[in-house]
Amino acid sequence: MRVTDGMIARNVMFNINQSYSRLDSLFEQVQTQKKISRPSDDPVVAMKGMYYRTNVIEVEQFKRNYSEARNWIETTDSAIDEATQAIQRIRELTAQASNETYDEGQLQSVAKEIGQLKEHLKTIANAKVGDKYIFNGTNTLKAPFENINDALPTFDTDDVTFELAKGIYVPVNMQGASVFGSPDGDNVFSMLDQLEASLNEGNTEVLSGFLDEIDTSMNRFLASRSEIGARTNRLDFMEERIDNQEIIAKRIMSDNEDIEFEKVVMEFKAQEAVHNAAMAVGARIIQPTLMDYLR
C-alpha cells in the first residue's frame, strides 16, 4: 500500500485532535472536580448519580421533617408544662379554701383566681406551632376554643404524623381529649366551672371532693408529658440513624461523581507531556514539500 504525504498528514492531525480532546476532558475534570459534565460522558455514572442524588434528597427531606417534628413536640411539651403549673396552683388554692376558715370574700377571691387560671388553660388548649393548632388533631387551622368564652372546646381525634424514615410515620401531636379530658365527659374545663361556682356560692363542703378531680386532671397532664418524653427519645434514636444514612448516601454519591483530584492532575500532566511530544513529532513528520518552496 502506497503511503502518501496526505495520508500521513491526516493521520497526524487525527491523533493530535484526539490528544486535544483527552486534554480537554481532563482539564474539565480538574476544573469541576467531577468525573462527568454531561450524561453522554459516561451514561453509567450518570444513571447511578441520579439514583444516589435521589437518595440524598430523600434523606435531607427526612432531616427537615425531624426538625419540624421536634419543634411540634417541644411546643406541646412546653404547653402541657404550663398547664401542669396552672393545675398545681388550682389544687393549692382549693386545698386552702377547703379548710373552712375562709370567709365569703376570701372564697370569691379564690374563685376569681381559679377563673383566671381556667382562662389560661383555654389559651393553652389553643396553643400553636407556627400557624397550626397543636391540640386539634389534623384540623390544625381551627382553634379548639374558637371563642375563648366558650365553655367547652372541640377536639379532632386524628394524629398529625411526619414521615421520619422510608414508610415510617410517627405521630407528633397529643390528642386534646387525652390532655384536657373529653368534652363529652370528664374534662378540666367543666370541672373548673363547677369548682368556681361552688366557691362563689360559699359551698366549702364539696371542695375536698374537687381535689380528686383536680388530681385526675393533673395525672392526665403528667401522663401526656411522659408520652412526649418517650416520643422524644424515639426521635433521638431515629434521628441518629438518619444522620448516619445521610453520611453514607453522600459518600456513595461522592464516590460515584467526584474525581480523585491528585490522580487526575497527574493524568493531565502526563497527557500534556504526550501531547507536546506528539506536536513536536508531527511538526517534523509533516515536512515542507518542493511545491511549498516553489510558491
* Predicted confidence (pLDDT) at residue 177 exceeds the cutoff of 50: yes
C-alpha span between 119 and 153 (Å, rounded): 12
List, for residues 143-159, the tens digit of each pLDDT value: 999 887 888 899 998 99
pLDDT at 235: 92
Residue 259 C-beta-side C-alpha neighbours within 13 Å: 21
Considering the chain, what percentage of its residues have pLDDT values greater than 70?
Answer: 72
**More confident: 128 or 6:** 128
Distance CA 218, CA 215 (A): 5
Distance CA(187)–CA(263), nearest Å, equals 71
Percentage of the chain modeled with pLDDT above 90: 49
Work out the mean pLDDT of the chain and round it to a whole number: 83
Q: Is the Cβ–Cβ distance between 143 and 152 less than 8 Å?
A: no
d(CA 290, CA 192): 116
Contacts 24+ apart (CB under 8 A), 15-18: 15/278, 15/282, 16/275, 16/278, 16/279, 16/282
Q: Are 283 and 93 in contact (CB under 8 A)?
A: no
**Biggest distance spanned by C-alpha atoms of the chain:** 133
Question: What pLDDT is attached to residue 227?
Answer: 95
> Chain-centre distance of CA 118, in angstroms?
34
Which pLDDT tens digit goes with each residue over 263-289?
A: 766 766 766 666 666 666 666 666 655
Buried-exposed string 260-289: b where 16+ CB fall within 10 A, e elsewhere: eeeebeebbeebeeebeebeeebeeeeeee
Helix axes 188-200, 207-257, angle to 10 degrees: 150
More confident residue, 47 or 88: 88
pTM of this prediction? 0.74
- 9: amino acid identity, one letter: A
Question: 143 or 247: whose pLDDT is higher?
Answer: 143
Q: Give Cβ neighbours of residue 275 (< 8 Å, ≥ 6 apart).
A: 16, 19, 20, 22, 23
- Confidence check: pLDDT of 112 > 70: yes
**What average pLDDT does range 241-261 have in this prediction?**
76
pLDDT at 291: 46
Residue 224: helix, strand or coil by DSSP? Answer: helix
Q: How far apart are CA 278 and CA 272, in angstroms?
A: 10
Distance CA 269, CA 277 (A): 12
With beta carbons less than 8 A apart as the criterion, state whether 225 and 81 touch.
yes
Please give the full DSSP string across 47-105, using - where no structure is assigned. Answer: HHHHHHHHHHHHHHHHHHHHHHHHHHHHHHHHHHHHHHHHHHHHHHHHHHHTTS---HH
Q: Hey, what's the torsion of the CAs at 252, 253, 254, 257, to 10 degrees?
A: 130
Mean pLDDT within 125-148: 93
Q: How far apart are CA 293 and CA 193, in angstroms?
A: 116
Find the mean pLDDT for residues 216-239: 94
User: What is residue 294's predicted lDDT score, i.e. its pLDDT?
Assistant: 46
> 37 falls in which pLDDT band (50, 70, 90)?
low
Strand, helix or coil for residue 286: coil
